C-alpha cells in the first residue's frame, strides 16, 4: 500500500503539468473561437501560441518526471538537438513556413483584398494562414503560395488609390516626338487617368520606346483600365495617322503610299452600368476585403467605446451623462449588427466553399 502511495506521490507533479497544459490549450482554443469574428489572422496567432505552450509544457514535464537527473539531462539534450535540427532545416520544412507566416503577419506586409504581385503571380489576397497565403489570380483561379516563398521574394503591393498605370509603345524616328507625346497624353485622359506623363525609355537602332503613365483613382479596376489604356493608345495614334508597326517590317516592305492604319476607327460605346471584369474575376477577394473592412470598423467602435466610458467617469451633468450613455448604446447596437453580419458572411463563405468543393450528386 505504501509503495502504491509513493508511486502516486511521484506522479502528482507530472499529472499537474499535463493537466495545466491541457487547460491552457483548451483556453487558448476557446479564446480564439470567441474572437474569431472580430480578429483577422487569428489562426496564425492561435497556432503560434499553441506551439509555444506545447514546447514549454514538454520541457516542464521532463523537469518534473521522477527520474534520475542524469537521464533528465540526456533527454533535454536530445530534445535540444531535435529542436536545433528543426530550426536548421526550417528553410525547407513546415517549421520554416510557420515561422515565415508569423513574420509576414507581424510585419503586416499586406491584408486580405490587397492586389499584390510576387514574381509572375499577380492577384488579390483572399486569406492568410500560418503555413500559406491564398490569392485569386487575374484569371479568377486560386493559387496557394507557401509563406516561406513570400518571405524570400519581394512583394509588390499595389496602392488602393492613386496607383500608376503605364503602357509602352515603340515608334519610328521619323515621327515628331511632341506629336506622339500629345497623342499618348490624350489617350491617358480619355482612359480616365489623371496627371498623365510620358517617359522615353529606350532609343533603339530602329525605333523609340515611349511609356505613358497616369494615376488611377481606384486600383480595383487595375487590369481593365490597363487594357483600356492600350486600346485608347492604339485608337489615338491611328486617329493621328501614326503607324504602330514593326521597324523591321517597315524596312522590308515596298516603299509606297500604303499606311497600316484602320480605314475607320469605330467609336466605343459607353459601358453603362455593367460590372467591371474585376468585379467578376476577384469575387472571393472582394468578399474577403469587405470582411476585413468590417473587422477594422469593429476595432474603431471599440476605441470609441473606451473613450466614451472614460468621458462618462468625469461627467456630472445629468444631460451630458444621458447623451454619453445614449452614444454608448448606439455603439453597442452597431457593434452587434456588424458582428452578426460578419458571422453570416463567414457562414455563407463556408457553405459556398463546401458547395464548390463537393458538387451535388446527380
Same domain, 28 and 133: no
Which of 54, 47, 45 has the alpha carbon at shortest distance from 24?
Answer: 54
In a domain, 95, yes or no: no
Q: CA 91, CA 96: separation in Å to the nearest integer?
A: 5
Same domain, 140 and 235: no
Q: What is the CATH number of the domain that holds 171?
A: 3.30.70.100
In a domain, 355, yes or no: no
- Contact between 102 and 130 under an 8 Å Cβ cutoff? The reply is yes
Last residue of one domain, picked from the residues 55, 88, 121: 88
Last residue of one domain, picked from the residues 139, 157, 175: 157
Quick count: other Cβ atoms within 10 Å of Cβ 161?
A: 10
Q: CA 251, CA 248: separation in Å to the nearest integer?
A: 5
pLDDT at 197: 92
pLDDT at 159: 86
Same domain, 137 and 68: no
Does the CA dihedral 75-77-78-83 come out positive or negative? positive
The number of domains in the chain is 4
Domain range for 133: 109-157
In a domain, 93, yes or no: no
Buried b (16+ CB within 10 A) or exposed e, 323-340: ebeebbeebeeebeebbe
In a domain, 100, yes or no: no
In a domain, 353, yes or no: no
Q: What is the pLDDT along the chain (362 residues), one digit of tens a residue?
A: 666 776 667 777 778 888 888 888 888 788 877 665 444 455 667 777 887 888 888 888 888 887 777 888 888 888 888 877 776 765 566 777 777 887 777 777 788 888 889 888 898 888 888 788 888 888 888 888 888 888 888 888 888 888 899 999 998 888 888 999 999 999 999 999 999 999 999 998 888 999 999 999 888 888 889 999 999 999 999 988 888 865 555 444 454 555 555 555 455 555 555 666 767 667 777 777 777 788 778 888 888 878 888 887 777 777 888 888 888 888 888 888 888 887 777 777 666 655 544 444 43
Q: CA 97, CA 112: separation in Å to the nearest integer?
A: 19
In a domain, 103, yes or no: no
Same domain, 69 and 167: no
pLDDT at 362: 39
Question: In the sheet where 208-216 sits, what is the strand order?
Answer: 163-171, 208-216, 194-203
Same domain, 254 and 300: no
Same domain, 264 and 323: no
Same domain, 175 and 268: yes
Same domain, 51 and 118: no
Last residue of one domain, picked from the residues 277, 308, 335: 277
- Tabulate helix, strand, coil % of the chain (nearest 5): 60, 15, 25
Same domain, 220 and 269: yes
In a domain, 104, yes or no: no
Same domain, 253 and 178: yes
Same domain, 293 and 244: no
Q: Cell triple for residue 237?
A: 495614334
3-state secondary structure 257-296: CCCCCCCCCCCCCCCCCCCCHHHHHCHHHHHHHHHHHHHH
Q: CA 3, CA 269: separation in Å to the nearest integer?
A: 93
Does the CA dihedral 118-124-126-127 come out positive or negative? positive
pTM of this prediction? 0.57
Q: What is the CATH number of the domain that holds 137?
A: 2.30.30.60
Same domain, 144 and 63: no
In a domain, 70, yes or no: yes
Amino acid at each position: 500500500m505504501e509503495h502504491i502511495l509513493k508511486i502516486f506521490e511521484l506522479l502528482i507533479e507530472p499529472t499537474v503539468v499535463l493537466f495545466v497544459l491541457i487547460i491552457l490549450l483548451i483556453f487558448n482554443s476557446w479564446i480564439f473561437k470567441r474572437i474569431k469574428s472580430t480578429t483577422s489572422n487569428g489562426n496564425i496567432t492561435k497556432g503560434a501560441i499553441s506551439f509555444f505552450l506545447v514546447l514549454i509544457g514538454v520541457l516542464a514535464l521532463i523537469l518534473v518526471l521522477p527520474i534520475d537527473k542524469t537521464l533528465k539531462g540526456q533527454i533535454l539534450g536530445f530534445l535540444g538537438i531535435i529542436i536545433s535540427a528543426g530550426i536548421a532545416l526550417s528553410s525547407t520544412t513546415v517549421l520554416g513556413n510557420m515561422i515565415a507566416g508569423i513574420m509576414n503577419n507581424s510585419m503586416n506586409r499586406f491584408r486580405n483584398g490587397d492586389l499584390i504581385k510576387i514574381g509572375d503571380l499577380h492577384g488579390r489576397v483572399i486569406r492568410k494562414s500560418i503555413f500559406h497565403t491564398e490569392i485569386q489570380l487575374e484569371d479568377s483561379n486560386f493559387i496557394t503560395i507557401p509563406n516561406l516563398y513570400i518571405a524570400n521574394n519581394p512583394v509588390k503591393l499595389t496602392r488602393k488609390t492613386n496607383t500608376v498605370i503605364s503602357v509602352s509603345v515603340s515608334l519610328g524616328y521619323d515621327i515628331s516626338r511632341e506629336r506622339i507625346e500629345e497623342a499618348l497624353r490624350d489617350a491617358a485622359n480619355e482612359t480616365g487617368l489623371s496627371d498623365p506623363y510620358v517617359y522615353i525609355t529606350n532609343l533603339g537602332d530602329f525605333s523609340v520606346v515611349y511609356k505613358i503613365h497616369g494615376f488611377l483613382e481606384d486600383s480595383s479596376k487595375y487590369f481593365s483600365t490597363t487594357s483600356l489604356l492600350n486600346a485608347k493608345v492604339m485608337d489615338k495614334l491611328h486617329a493621328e495617322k501614326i503607324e504602330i508597326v514593326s521597324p523591321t517590317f517597315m524596312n522590308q516592305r515596298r516603299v509606297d503610299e500604303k499606311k497600316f492604319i484602320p480605314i475607320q476607327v469605330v467609336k466605343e460605346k459607353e459601358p453603362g452600368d455593367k460590372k467591371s471584369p474585376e468585379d467578376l474575376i476577384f469575387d472571393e477577394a472582394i468578399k474577403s476585403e469587405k470582411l476585413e473592412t468590417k473587422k477594422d470598423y469593429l476595432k474603431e467602435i471599440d476605441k470609441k467605446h473606451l473613450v466614451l466610458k472614460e468621458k462618462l467617469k468625469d461627467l456630472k451633468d445629468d444631460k451630458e451623462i444621458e447623451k454619453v450613455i445614449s452614444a454608448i448604446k448606439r455603439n453597442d447596437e452597431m457593434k452587434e449588427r456588424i458582428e452578426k453580419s460578419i458571422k453570416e458572411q463567414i457562414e455563407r463563405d463556408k457553405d459556398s466553399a463546401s458547395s464548390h468543393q463537393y458538387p451535388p450528386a446527380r
